[in-house]
Amino acid sequence: MIDRLHQLPLLLGALIVCLIFVVPTLIGSALLQPVVSRLLRGEKDANTVVGLLLNAFSVYFGVLLALLSIAVFENYNKAQDAVGREASIAVALYNVFSGYPEPARTSLSETLLRYLDEESGPGWTSQQGNQVSTPGMRLIDRLSRELLGFRPTRDAGEDMLHGEALRTFAEFIEQRRLRLQAAGTSVPTVIWAVVLVGAALNVFTLWLFDLKRTTHFILGGVLMAFIGLVVYMVAVLDRPFHGAHGLGPDDLIQARQQMQPRA
């Protein structure tokens, strides 16, 4: 279901999630709330006791949602930053390759270009499905073998150029790793379960109040609508490359265009 929500327009997806939380709450307020409120019948000043419980519970639940939101937002920013850095380092690596003698220059440059074509096209689609592109991995392995197999000539100053290429290539691999790591990172199922149970307990505690039915509709509807929006935001940011709202390969495409036109 979460995968389908990622494909929907932003407002429509948020509306659907809010309705999933709000509609059962309103139905329960009409059917179950009178029964639940009887649990504290006869208790002196029951609303005050329930209010203290709800305040304490809301603090812990609010902190959980806040920490969860911060975590997914940081992962989203890391993914975006990793893509940009990978693209910029790819351009720098291509410029370093231009200083190599033939035939190493052409071989390294063409392999890097093929890698960018793969990762910004079919490889990006695979990444959206939480899979690593096999052709992309093979091209990286080929680049690594060619760089490690190159024997620089000290008299021509190739040793310094080759050292710079190895350093830049190591940074390139690290940014690729961070991008793939961000694509595969998601909120554990147990945390989603705690969030859903916490939302249900919020509603149950709210039903303990001895209030008019209309008041319960308003309070329950507003509370669940807000929780639904937060849950939808977390679900969208949790998979930074997935769906219509995910990050795109724009930086990699721009890096490819800075190098040389396709034949």
Q: Where are the domains of the chain?
A: 2-259
Q: Which two tokens stand for residue 74?
A: 């940081």
Compute the average pLDDT of residues 82-90: 94
Assign 248 to helix, strand or coil: coil
Q: Which two tokens stand for residue 2?
A: 């979460």
Q: Which residues contact 259 (CB under 8 A, 6 or more apart)?
A: 91, 94, 109, 112, 113, 116
Kindly write down the DSSP assignment for every residue of 41-102, as one continuous string.
Answer: TT-TTHHHHHHHHHHHHHHHHHHHHHHHHHHHHHHHHHHHHHHHHHHHHHHHHHHHHTTSPT
Q: What is the pLDDT of residue 2?
A: 64
Q: What is the pLDDT of residue 263?
A: 45
Where do runs of H (alpha helix) occur along 150-212? 158-184, 189-207
Residue with tokens 């000539």: 153
Q: Which two tokens stand for residue 228?
A: 């639904």
Q: What global pTM score does this model have?
A: 0.79
Least confident of 22-26, 124-128, 139-143, 254-258: 124-128
Do residues 195 and 231 lie in contact, with contact meaning Cβ atoms separated by under 8 Å?
yes
**Residue 261: pLDDT band by 50, 70, 90 thresholds?**
low
**Residue 87: pLDDT band by 50, 70, 90 thresholds?**
very high
Mean residue pLDDT across the chain: 88
What's the pLDDT tens digit per position in 91-126?
Answer: 999 999 988 888 888 999 999 999 999 999 998 988
What angle, 0 to 180 degrees and rounded to 10, lies between the N-to-C axes of helices 10-31 and 189-207?
A: 40
What span, in angstroms and rounded, lies between the C-alpha atoms of 130 and 70?
22
Q: Which of 260, 199, 257, 245 is nearest to 79 (CA)?
A: 245
**Residue 194: pLDDT band by 50, 70, 90 thresholds?**
very high
* Residue scoring higher pLDDT (251 or 41): 251
Do residues 111 and 137 lie in contact, with contact meaning Cβ atoms separated by under 8 Å?
no
The angle subtended at Cα 130 by Cα 127 and Cα 135, nearest 5°, is: 45
| Residue 5: pLDDT over 90 | no
| Residue 238: pLDDT over 90 | no
Q: Which two tokens stand for residue 253?
A: 């495409």
| Residue 35: pLDDT over 90 | no
| Residue 231: pLDDT over 70 | yes
Q: Which of 190, 194, 187, 193 is nearest to 60 (CA)?
A: 194
Assign 186 to helix, strand or coil: coil
